[in-house]
Amino acid sequence: MSIPTSAELNAMRDASRKLVKSSYETAEAENYLNFLKGDDKATAEYIFPNQKEDAKNIVEEFYRNNRRVVSIQKKTKVGADGLMIETATLLTTHEDPEFVFNYANVRILTGMSNAGWEKDMKDKAPSCFKDKIFHHGQLSKADLRMMRNSLLIIDEIDSGDKEGQVLHTILKEAGVLDVRHMEEHNNRFIFISATMIKELYQLYQWGSLHKLYKMTIPASYIGHTDFLQLGIIKEFYSLQSKENAEKWVQEDILDNYGPDYRVHIVRLNPKTVKIVEAACIRKGILFRNHTSTDRLTKDEQTEFFKEALPQHIVLGVKGFFRRANLIPNRWKLRIGATHELCVKNVDNNVQVQGLPGRMTGYWRNDIERGHKTGPHRTSIKAIKEYEVTYLNPFGKDPYQTAGFKKNKNGKVTSESTMLSAKNITGLHAVDLPTVEEVIDINLYRIYTDENVVRDVCKILKYHYISTPENANGFKETSLNNKPSVVSLRDAVKKVPTAYGTNNGVKTYRTYYPCYVDTTNNTSLHFVVIIRPGTDMSKVAECDAKYTSLTLENTKKQTENSVQLSHPIQEVWNNPDATHVNEVVEEPSSDVTSVSYLFKMKKPAVSKK
C-alpha cells in the first residue's frame, strides 16, 4: 500500500471530520426527539453549555499547553457523559491538521464492572464512538495496540485502577503507560471521577504532564452541600435491630410523608434485608428487592416511578444506585427517603457515590419551589470531609477511602495504583506536596530577645540557663539527638515531645534556641515551651507584657516557587520592623504550590 500524499491525508482528515460532525448531529437530533417523546434518559439539550465550555478548555490544555493527561474532578451527577462526548468530538474535528485526533483511536473506558454504564454511554454517544466504549467486563476487546493520535478517556478512574487489575494490565500491555510512547505516538488521557483523591496525589507526581481541571457547576445543580444546609442529608444508623428498622419506616416514611406516597430506597445486606422487610410488613408498606438477581421489571419501574402510587414502597438494594448509575429526574421526584448501609469503617468515596450522590443533579428549582425529598441518610462526617477535600485536595483535612488515608494533620498513607510514578515508564516524578503538622500555639511562645526569654521564664517559674555560643557564634540545642544548629520550624515541630523520661517521670525542656536561617547567626529566635500544669494566668501575664511571634504552616514550596529565605531573613533581621510581613506564593496553574507563611510583629523590648 502506497504512502498517502499530503493532499490525500488532508482529504482523509476532512472526510473524518465530516463523519464525526454528522454522527454528532444525528445523536443530538435523536436525543431531542426522545426527550419530546418523554424518554426519562433523554435531556432537553444533548450537551449543555457548561459541558461545552469545559470541553473547550480541556482541549486547549492539550493543544496550547501540551498536556498528556487532564484529570477532571467533578461533583456527582454533574454530567460527565456529555463532557466526554463533547471533548472527543472537538479533538476529532479540530481544525489544526497537525493536532486533530483520529476518531478510530478514541476509547472511552472504565474499570468498573458496570454493563449499565456501557449501555447508557453507547445509547447517548454518536455512532462513530459507539463501538469504542468498554466497561470492565469488555476491556479485553478495546484493542489498544498501535494507538497513535489517540484519546483514552477513563471514567470513574478510582474504580478498578489497582496495580495488576484488568485496566492496568491492558494499558501496560499496550505500552501506553510510558511517557516517551505518549509523546512519540501523540496519545492523551482524560481521567474522570467525583472521588479521585488518591489518584490526584499520584497524578501530582506527573508534574507538567498533568493538569487538574474542575468541572463547572451550573446554578441549576444541587449537591451534597446544599442537602446538608437544607437538612435533607441526615446521619445514618444501623438497621440491624427490629427497633431501628421500625423507627426508620415510621419516622422517615410514614410520619414524614403521610399520604404523599413515595418510593423509598434502603441499602441492605444479608443481615438487614429480612429485618427491614419485616418492619415494612408490620407497618403496612410494600417491600420489594431490587438487586442483580431480583431486579424490577420494566413494567414495575413504570408502575413505581410513573403511575400514581396507592401506598408507600420500599426498595431494598445492594449494589444498585452507586457510582455512574443515573436516577432520572422524574424518578427523583417520586423518591422519598433513602438510607445508605451503616458500617463501622466508613469509606468516604462509597458514601459520596451512594444514594445521596444519586439524588444530586439538575433539579434545584424543584426543591427550592418546595418539593420534599429525603431524609437521605449517610455519614455526615464523610460528606463534610468530601466537600472540604474537593475544594482543596492537598490540604490538611482528614479523608479516608479504600487504599488511602489522610489524617487531620495532612499525613497521607496510600496504596499504589496504575497511576503511581513507579508504574509510568520514563516519568521524572515530582515530589508529593508536604503538609507540615500544625502545632498548637498554646504549647509555645516565640521571642527574639534573650532578655525577654529570661523574664518570661521567671514569670512562669521556669529555671532559665543561657546557652553558650559555639565557635561560629551559634547557640546549639538538641532535639533528642546530638546538639546542632536548629531551624525555627524544626524547633516548633518538636514542641509536643520536648521532654525526657526518667523512671516514668517526664522532665520538660525550657526553651529551644533556633534560627530562621541556620546559616545566619543573627536570625536567632527562642521557642519557649509551655509545660503542662503551667498557671495559665501567668502565661496571660507574659502575653500582655511581651508579644510572641507566630509561625503558621501552610504548604511546602514547590521547586518553581520563589525562594523565601531572603525576604523572610530581611524582616527577621530588622529589629525595627513594625509591620506584618506575609510571604505567600500563589499556587501555580498546574500543581498546588506550597509555602510557609510567617507573620511578624514588632519585636519585644526587654524591660529592665
- The percent of residues in the chain predicted with pLDDT above 70, rounded, is 88
The pLDDT assigned to 208 comes to 93
Could you give the dihedral angle defined by the CA atoms of residues 349, 50, 216 and 118, in that order, rounded to the nearest 10 degrees?
A: 20
For residue 178, what are the contacts with CB-CB under 8 A and spacing of at least 6? 424, 425, 426
The pLDDT assigned to 131 comes to 95
Instruction: Extract the runs of DSSP E, i.e. beta strands, from 180-321.
Output: 187-193, 210-214, 233-235, 263-267, 286-289, 313-317
- Contact (Cβ atoms closer than 8 angstroms) between residue 538 and residue 528: no
Query: Which range (110-124, 309-323, 505-519, 592-606) has the least confidence?
Result: 592-606
The pLDDT assigned to 566 comes to 29
- Contact (Cβ atoms closer than 8 angstroms) between residue 156 and residue 134: no
Query: Which range (153-162, 236-245, 251-260, 437-446) has the least confidence?
Result: 437-446
Q: Which three cell numbers stand for residue 308?
A: 400514581
The pLDDT assigned to 440 comes to 84
Q: How confident is the model at residue 410 (pLDDT cuts 50, 70, 90)?
A: confident
The pLDDT assigned to 435 comes to 67
Give, in words, the CATH class of 6-214: alpha beta
Distance, in Å, from the CA atom of 84 to the CA atom of 125, rounded to the nearest integer, reads 9
- Contact (Cβ atoms closer than 8 angstroms) between residue 220 and residue 85: no
CA-based angle 113:117:119, to the nearest 5? 115
Same fold for the domain at 6-214 and the one at 224-401? yes
pLDDT (tens digit, 9 = 90+) per residue, 555-573?
A: 332 233 323 332 222 332 3
- Give the domain ranges of the chain: 6-214, 224-401, 441-599
**Looking at the predicted structure, is the pLDDT value of residue 434 above 80?**
no
As beta bridge partners, residue 237 has none
On the CB side of 371, CA atoms within 13 Å amount to 17
Distance, in Å, from the CA atom of 189 to the CA atom of 169, rounded to the nearest integer, reads 16
Per-residue pLDDT averaged across 304-326, rounded?
79
For residue 487, what are the contacts with CB-CB under 8 A and spacing of at least 6? 514, 515, 516, 518
The pLDDT assigned to 562 comes to 29
Distance, in Å, from the CA atom of 279 to the CA atom of 297, rounded to the nearest integer, reads 24
pLDDT (tens digit, 9 = 90+) per residue, 359-409?
A: 999 999 999 999 999 999 999 999 999 999 998 898 888 999 999 999 888
**Looking at the predicted structure, is the pLDDT value of residue 431 above 90?**
no
Q: Answer with the residue of higher pLDDT: 347 or 586.
A: 347
Distance, in Å, from the CA atom of 178 to the CA atom of 379, rounded to the nearest integer, reads 40
The pLDDT assigned to 601 comes to 31
Q: Burial letters for 98-136: b for 16+ Cβ neighbours within 10 Å, e otherwise? A: eebbbbebbbbbbbbebeebbebbbbbbbebbeebbbbb
| Helix%, strand%, coil% for the chain, nearest 5 | 40, 20, 45
**Looking at the predicted structure, is the pLDDT value of residue 95 above 90?**
yes
Per-residue pLDDT averaged across 9-29, rounded?
94
The pLDDT assigned to 556 comes to 34
Q: Which three cell numbers stand for residue 290?
A: 431490587
According to DSSP, the β-strands at 511-515 and 524-529 are antiparallel
Q: Answer with the residue of higher pLDDT: 337 or 482.
A: 337
Q: Give the chain's mean pLDDT.
A: 86
Task: Please count the residues of the chain.
Answer: 608
Topology of domain 224-401, per CATH?
Rossmann fold (3.40.50)
Give backbone dihedrals phi and psi of 191, rounded to 5 degrees, phi first.
Answer: -115, 135
Distance, in Å, from the CA atom of 13 to the CA atom of 362, rounded to the nearest integer, reads 37
Q: How confident is the model at residue 589 (pLDDT cuts 50, 70, 90)?
A: very low
Structural Rg of the chain based on CA atoms = 30
User: What letter does residue 431 receive in the DSSP assignment?
Assistant: P
Q: How many CB atoms are closer than 10 A to CB 286? A: 16
Distances, alpha carbon 103 to alpha carbons 13, 106, 303, in Å = 10, 5, 41
**Backbone CA torsion sign across 388, 389, 395, 401:** positive
pTM for this prediction: 0.72
pLDDT (tens digit, 9 = 90+) per residue, 32-55?
A: 999 999 888 888 899 999 999 999
Per-residue pLDDT averaged across 290-299, rounded?
70
For residue 248, what are the contacts with CB-CB under 8 A and spacing of at least 6? 237, 239, 266, 276, 279, 337, 339, 377
pLDDT (tens digit, 9 = 90+) per residue, 487-530?
A: 998 999 899 999 888 888 889 999 999 999 999 999 999 999 99
Distance, in Å, from the CA atom of 444 to the CA atom of 542, rounded to the nearest integer, reads 12
What DSSP string runs through 354-389?
Answer: SHHHHT-BS-HHHHHTT-----EEE-HHHHHHHHHH
Q: How confident is the model at residue 304 (pLDDT cuts 50, 70, 90)?
A: confident
Going edge to edge, which strands form the sheet with 444-447? 444-447, 524-529, 511-515
pLDDT (tens digit, 9 = 90+) per residue, 237-287?
A: 999 999 999 999 999 999 999 999 999 999 999 899 999 999 999 999 999
**Looking at the predicted structure, is the pLDDT value of residue 442 above 50?**
yes
The pLDDT assigned to 323 comes to 62
- The percent of residues in the chain predicted with pLDDT above 90, rounded, is 68
Q: How confident is the model at residue 65 (pLDDT cuts 50, 70, 90)?
A: very high
